């Protein structure tokens, strides 16, 4: 059975008060596509204003700390995200794994903290170009997933995975449909190994240079249950064709 598609925007370090109009425009345009879950993960400082501006629309964070509270200067807890109006958060994005040196154990702890608070989680995994060229992408990403997944069956309700090949992020390069399909099938097997049947209902998103022009082709790949979109999520005119393609792929 096909899962309901999720199209989530990751605004990364983009967005000021003046961009709340874009959040509103995306939320309003998304109402025309009830068969697709749409979300925007905005900078932490915009979450509260964004969620007030678009009640009922899913606003998310881009990271969360694994601790409940404490001496963690500059960090944001799961409870703080919820308090600000977020309903989900990204964890383990490759830009954080790289620049903030987050390892799989950190990502797992963050996912567990977020899920325990009732937040949805988009957990990112993906290989470098070097790993892809060495023919080790599936093995590497599967290992990364195994070590990053939150423990416990209950977490599957609120969990999505985003496969984001690092070399495809912001580059305009996209793996072939076959490569995406092989990876998503492998990740599905890992999810079933970890959670049993419940692993079949965890959505696996693709991320990396998704645009209106390639979204239809990507959504046609088996086991692609949505997309995590960077650059093309900043403007309604770029983002909505991706949502529309997801709706069309739902059939
Ligand atoms: P782009 O869509 O800009 O390639 O970014 C993908 C991404 O990193 C989403 O998290």
Residue-wise pLDDT tens digits, 176-213: 999 999 999 999 999 999 999 999 999 999 999 999 99
Catalytic residue among 22, 102, 112, 164: 164
Q: Among 164, 206, 227, 242, which residue has the most ligand 1 atoms within 8 Å of its CB, making it the best to mutate? A: 164
How many angstroms separate the alpha carbon of residue 10 from the centre of ligand 1? 7
Q: Does the active-site annotation cover 102?
A: no
Grouping H, G, I as helix, E, B as strand and the rest as coil, residue 205 is strand
Name 88's bridge partners.
Answer: 60, 120
**Looking at the predicted structure, is the pLDDT value of residue 1 above 90?**
no
Catalytic residue among 93, 102, 127, 244: 93
Q: What is the CA radius of gyration of the chain?
A: 17
Per DSSP, helices labelled H in the chain are 20-30, 44-53, 78-84, 94-99, 104-117, 129-133, 137-148, 177-195, 212-219, 236-250
For ligand 1, residues with CB inside 6 Å are 10, 93, 164, 169-170, 207-210, 228-232
Backbone angles phi, psi at 60, to 5 degrees: -125, 165
Q: What is the pLDDT of residues 102-147, one digit of tens each?
A: 999 999 999 999 999 999 999 999 999 999 999 999 999 999 999 9
Q: Does the active-site annotation cover 151?
A: no
The CA distances from residue 205 to 11, 53, 115, 164, in Å, are 16, 26, 18, 8
């Amino acid at each position: 059975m096909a899962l309901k598609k999720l199209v989530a925007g990751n605004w990364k370090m983009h967005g000021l008060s003046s961009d709340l109009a874009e959040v509103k425009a995306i939320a309003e345009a998304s109402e025309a596509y009830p068969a697709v879950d749409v979300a925007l993960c905005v900078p932490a400082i915009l979450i509260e204003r964004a969620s007030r501006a678009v009640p009922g629309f899913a606003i998310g964070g881009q990271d969360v700390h694994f601790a409940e509270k404490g001496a963690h200067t500059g960090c944001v807890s799961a409870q703080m995200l919820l308090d600000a109006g977020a309903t989900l958060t990204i964890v383990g994005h490759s830009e954080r794994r790289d620049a903030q040196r987050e390892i799989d154990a950190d990502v797992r702890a963050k996912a567990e903290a977020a899920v325990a608070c009732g937040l949805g989680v988009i957990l990112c995994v993906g290989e470098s170009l070097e790993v892809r060229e060495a023919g080790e992408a599936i093995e590497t990403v599967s290992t990364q997933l195994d070590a990053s997944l939150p423990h416990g069956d209950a977490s599957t309700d609120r969990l999505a995975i985003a496969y984001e090949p690092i070399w495809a992020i912001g580059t305009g390069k996209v793996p072939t449909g076959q490569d995406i399909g092989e990876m998503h099938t492998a990740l599905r097997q890992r999810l079933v190994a970890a959670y049993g049947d419940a692993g079949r209902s965890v959505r696996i998103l693709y991320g990396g240079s998704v645009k209106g022009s390639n979204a239809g082709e990507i959504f046609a790949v088996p086991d692609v249950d949505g997309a995590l979109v960077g650059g093309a999520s900043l403007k309604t005119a770029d983002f909505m064709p991706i949502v529309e393609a997801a709706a069309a792929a739902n059939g």
